[in-house]
Amino acid sequence: MLTAIIPIDLKRRPKDIIRKAINIAEATKNNNIKVIFGHGNRFTTYDRTFTRLLNGYENVHVKSCDNFSKAINASLLRNQAFKSVESEYVILLDVDIYPDFNLFEKYKEKIKSGIKPFYILPCLYLTKYGTSILNDRKASIESLKKKYFAFSRKEFLHLASPSSITILKSADYETLHGFDESFRGHGYEDFDFLVRLYNHYFIPKVKADFLADRPCHSPLFVTGFRRYLGEYCLDILLHKDFAFHLYHNKNRNEDYYIARTENYHIFKQKHKKNISNERYYDSTLLMLFIKHCIDKGEDIRNYSIYFDNKPGHIDRYDTLRRRIKFLLNQ
């Protein structure tokens, strides 16, 4: 069995999180997968509702710990959830990930077969519209993929590769002592874990631009530590396999997101000592991906969307505000 560990803190958008957690729990009914929610219990009505509703599922366990902190600590909650893991393999998920358990099982079996020691799955971020048609079953996973590769814009924001969605051996999680709980709020605790996981299996020569922190719309234009981890995901991109991230509103002025600045500082301090003076010939993944296509005999034109690096909101007119701005040529 594969076990998913998912951090839950209902300080932010509790109704949305509870609804998505229930959808994940419902999906376990027809799959050989267990879900453990690492729940930071703030003793609110929402927390009581969450615990009552989710504990009713056979393959779902809520691992609660008291949380009186103002900060959200996903690292701590993942580590709490992992304490209840009994399976040989785990997948690191967030509650906003669509439960495509067939995809997750596919890559667990690849680890079991010895193809790779772990997998980091790319993740396609959906718009509000894309999320609604997937949830309402007006579009299937395969039909959404076809739309994405046909350059449809209104369903998608961007494709993240690497993402935080990782399938690995439980023994490796233990060896790495899990997530670093000094990270608070949003960001970088996942990259820190992934870098340590990668280094556990491989002896990398970390290039001079490793700490570059520049997210990209295209998975092939990533640089720095995203390139370093993204290279490991290129074969999955060739197979056109990725998870889906379901839309939710963001307020960048929340303390949760403001914490990214401090989290990046922690990440940088932890990993700066391993950096060499060497530089990549190509600081992106463009040339490596082209080489992968050639080596595998794949037609690169089938992957044209991967080279699109426009921001996700460009060419989207799926809201009234965007349509008005388009008409006003703004």
Q: For residue 207, tell me if it sits in a domain.
A: yes
pTM: 0.92
Q: For residue 328, tell me if it sits in a domain.
A: no
Q: For residue 325, tell me if it sits in a domain.
A: no
Residue 45: which CATH number?
3.90.550
Residue 308 dihedral angles phi and psi, to the nearest 5°: -80, 115
Residue 272 dihedral angles phi and psi, to the nearest 5°: -70, -25
With CA atoms as reference, report the closest residue to 10 among 55, 63, 36, 49.
49
Does the pLDDT of residue 188 top 60, yes or no?
Answer: yes
Q: Provide the pLDDT for residue 279.
A: 79
| Total domains present in the chain | 1
Query: What size, in residues, is the chain?
Result: 330
Q: For residue 326, tell me if it sits in a domain.
A: no
Q: For residue 329, tell me if it sits in a domain.
A: no
Q: For residue 66, tell me if it sits in a domain.
A: yes
Identify whether the C-beta of residue 10 lies closer than 8 Å to the C-beta of residue 42. Answer: yes
Average pLDDT of the residues in 287-296: 96
Average pLDDT of the residues in 295-313: 88
Q: pLDDT of 226-266, one tens digit each?
A: 999 999 999 999 999 999 999 999 888 888 999 999 999 99
Domain that holds residue 222: 2-320
Q: pLDDT of 76-89, one tens digit each?
A: 999 999 999 999 99
Does the pLDDT of residue 273 top 60, yes or no?
Answer: yes
Q: For residue 151, tell me if it sits in a domain.
A: yes
Average model confidence (pLDDT) across the chain: 92
Q: For residue 330, tell me if it sits in a domain.
A: no
Does the pLDDT of residue 189 top 60, yes or no?
Answer: yes
Q: pLDDT of 38-58, one tens digit each?
A: 999 999 999 999 999 999 999
